[in-house]
Structure formats: C-alpha cells, structure tokens
Amino acid sequence: MDALLSVRDLAVHYRTAAGPVRAVDGASFDVPARSIVGLVGESGCGKSTLGRALMGVMPRSASIAAGSAVFEGRDLVTLSAAERRKLLWRRMAFVPQTAMNALDPVQRLGAQMMEVLVERGGLSRPEAGTRAAELFALVGLDSGRLRDWPHQFSGGMRQRASIALALALNPALLIADEPVTALDVIVQRQILDVMRELQARLGLAMILVTHDVAVVAYACDRVVVMYAGRVVESGPVRAVLEAPLHPYTMGLMNAFPDLERAGGELVPIEGAPPSLLNPPSGCRFAARCPFAVARCAEDPALVEQAPDHHVACWRAAEAPALRPLASEAATWAS
C-alpha cells in the first residue's frame, strides 16, 4: 500500500516537574493516500499529543523523543523548523480540538481566510476573495457569511469554518482533533458528511481523532486504536470493528449504547487509563482487562495478526472465543 504518512515507534514526551510524561510511547501506523483514518481511544491516551506532534504544533514542554514520521517521503522528525513551517497549511493542516481555537474571535471570518490565502498562500487579494467564497461553499456555508464574526456562528457552522480555513491551501493531509465531540447528533452527522464528501472530492487524506467508535464506523476507512500512549490495534474499519482482536477495542464497542439493541445493562469499561508519568510495565491495559493472564506482565508487541490487521495482545489468537465473553457486563465487573 502507498502510504502518505508512515509513523514508526514515535514517542512524544512532556517535561514536567515530576518527570517526563510519556504521552505517546512508541506509536506505529500508516495513513494511506486518500483515506480517512480514525485515531480512537479514551481521554488521556495521547491522541491530541500525537496529532499535534505530527503537525509540528506542540507546546514548548513537549518533544519528540524517538521514532520517525515519514510524510511524502520526508521524515518530519528530522526536518528543520523552517522546512516544517513550509509544510504547514500547504501540505498538512490541522483542525484543533475546539473549533473556537482555530478561529480568531476578534477578526471577521473572511479576514482570517484572506490572511492565510494572501500571506501564506501568496494569492492576490481578488484571487483570495474568490477562493474564500469557494472554500465556504465547499463546506456548505453561504459565502455572504464571510463578513460574520465567529460568535455569530453556531457550533456546527464554526466547525465548518475551521475546516474551510484548514483547507485553504489545498493540503494533502488534514488532521482533525475531535471535530464533532461537542456537537449534537444532527450537526455531528452533517459535519461528518462534509468531511467524507471533501475526502472524496479533493482526494484528501485525513486523520480523525475521536473517543467515539460510532464516528469511526460512520466516517473512516481505517482505524488506529490507542491506549495509554500506545497503538494497541489497527487495520481496516470493517476488520477492526466487526472482529476486534484487542480486549480494549471489544470494550469500546460494547460500551456503546445501541438504539437497536434491546434494553438491559450497558457494559462499561471500569476504571480509567493509567497516568503516563509512570506508565505500568507489561501490557498497559492489564489493570482493566478481564482476560489478563500471568504473561500480560510482559509487554505485548504490535504484530500483524491477520493481513493488514495489527494488534498488541498476548491473547489475540483467542479473540473469537473472547468476544462473546466481552459482550457480557459480568465479565467486566471489577
């Protein structure tokens, strides 16, 4: 497969007074050209850190400690800051976790768009005006609203505007961090439809960061499941969601309230991800895993268990037998 982005053993640490926080601790996955990859996991698993590290927009306390991220043939980790900046907007663009963060509250939307198009893209003002209207139309916004201020927009419209802004200079890769998390179900669906349509029309690749497996099922071609700074499972959406190999992925699927599944108790994953200041040794999911055995005290490597389907679990070969157990609440009760 022709990967647009190839991440290998990437580690990103935050310096803190208490020591390094290993927010991403050896992540490996591919983003094929023209595909939407869902990066899924609970809060605190390192998804935003990973997205920001790939984008090169990290806080000062963060640094890439190891690994590589080859994008269009060049390793982002070893590029100079200046070369990095050249890629930003033009080849890869970012929609941050809250749409409001992407937009400047004291500037009209049109002016923000013009700034990117003229100053970064080198377009003339008339060209930029036409392009701004085009971009708004692309995400389903009326170009008349380029004169509006961000606060005049609803949550869904703001998210559309920040996607339009990210697309201004035709990037090949868009990283969107929780683009629908704070939105209600109708707006969620409309935004995901916009993203799918953009991907199809413009041939973009996207990384869609989310804690919601339904978002992955609806919008993504591939999925990367993260737990405690590591990739624990990855592959095509159908393979991973329909026949998960990792107990964490099984848990994420079973915790989902399903409109069609009859009443009964929901199946939560008890507990929470560990602190990444001193991550536990061995399998990081062991403390919450109902299937943990003695061997799980050692670290399972991410292996290709089936063609194009990777997993890091000692009991992956037993997954077909574990899946029915994982769908019962009693299995997870601590």
Partner 1 sequence: MGQLIAANDLVKAFPASRRMADVLRGHRPVLRAVNGVSLAVGAGQALGIVGESGCGKTTTARLLLRLEEPTSGSVVFEGQDVTALRGAALLPFRSRVQLVFQNPFDALNPRFTIRRSLTEPLRNFGLPAQERHARILEAMARVRLDPPEAYLDRHPHELSGGQLQRVVLARALVTHPRAIIADEPVSMLDVSVRAGVLNVLRRARDELQLAAIYISHDLALIRYVCEEVAVMYLGRIVESGPTAEVIASAAHPYTRALVAAVPVPRVDQDRGDLPIRGGLPDQLNQPSGCAFRDRCPLAFARCTEEAPPLRAIAPGRHAACHLA
Q: Which does residue 247 bind out of ligand SF4, partner 1, Mg ion, none, counting CB within 5 to 8 angstroms by kind? A: ligand SF4
Closest to 177 measured CA to CA, from 134, 111, 137, 226: 226
Contact present, 54 and 7 (Cβ < 8 Å): yes
Q: From 25-33, 48-56, 107-115, 142-150, give the range in contact with Mg ion by CB under 5 A.
A: 48-56
Nearer to partner 1, 66 or 217 (CB): 217
| Contact flag: residue 272 with partner 1 (CB under 8 A) | yes
Q: Pick the stretch among 29-37, 73-81, 266-274, 291-299 that binds partner 1 (CB under 8 A).
A: 266-274
Is the distance from CB of 254 to CB of 330 less than 8 angstroms?
no
Nearer to ligand ADP, 59 or 324 (CB): 59
Q: In this complex, which beta carbon is closest to ligand ADP, that of residue 122 or of residue 271?
A: 271
In terms of phi and psi (left: phi > 0; alpha: psi -120 to 50; beta: otherwise), the region of 182 is: alpha
Smallest separation (angstroms) from ligand SF4 to the CB of 246: 6
**What's the rounded Cα separation, in Å, for the pair 200 and 80?**
32
Q: Which residues of 96-117 are buried (b: 16+ CB within 10 A; e: fewer)?
A: bbbbbebbeeeebbbebbbbbb
Task: Scan residues 259-298 and list those touching ligand SF4 (CB under 6 A).
Answer: 283, 285-286, 289, 291-292, 296
Q: Is 315 in the site for ligand SF4 (CB under 6 A)?
A: yes
* C-alpha closest to that of 41 among 174, 176, 178: 178
Q: Pairing state of beta strands 92-95 and 173-177?
A: parallel
Contacts with Mg ion by CB under 5 A: the residue count is: 1
For position 18 contacting partner 1 by CB under 8 A, the verdict is: no
Asked if residue 143 lies in contact with residue 133, where contact means CB atoms within 8 angstroms, the answer is yes
By CB under 8 A, residue 46 contacts partner 1: no
CB atoms within 10 A of CB 132: 24
Q: Which does 16 bind (CB under 5 to 8 A by kind): partner 1, ligand ADP, Mg ion, none?
A: ligand ADP
Question: How many angstroms separate the CA atoms of 319 and 313, rounded?
Answer: 10
Residue 36 makes contact with partner 1 by CB under 8 A: no
Question: Using CB under 8 A as the criterion, what x/- string covers residues 213-242 for binding partner 1?
Answer: xxxxxx------------------xx--xx
Smallest Cα–Cα separation from 311: which of 214, 230, 218, 207?
230
Instruction: Write the DSSP symbol of residue 42.
Output: -
Contact of residue 283 among ligand SF4, Mg ion, ligand ADP, none (CB under 5-8 Å per partner type): ligand SF4
CA atoms of 313 and 307, how far apart (whole Å):
16
Does residue number 243 form part of the binding site for partner 1 (CB under 8 A)?
A: no
Query: What's the CA gap between 53 and 102, in Å, rounded?
Result: 17
**Contact set with Mg ion (CB under 5 A):** 48
**Contact set with ligand SF4 (CB under 6 A):** 246-247, 283, 285-286, 289, 291-292, 296, 300, 313-315
**Contact set with partner 1 (CB under 8 A):** 42-43, 154-157, 184-190, 193, 196, 211-218, 237-238, 241-242, 251-253, 255-260, 263, 265-272
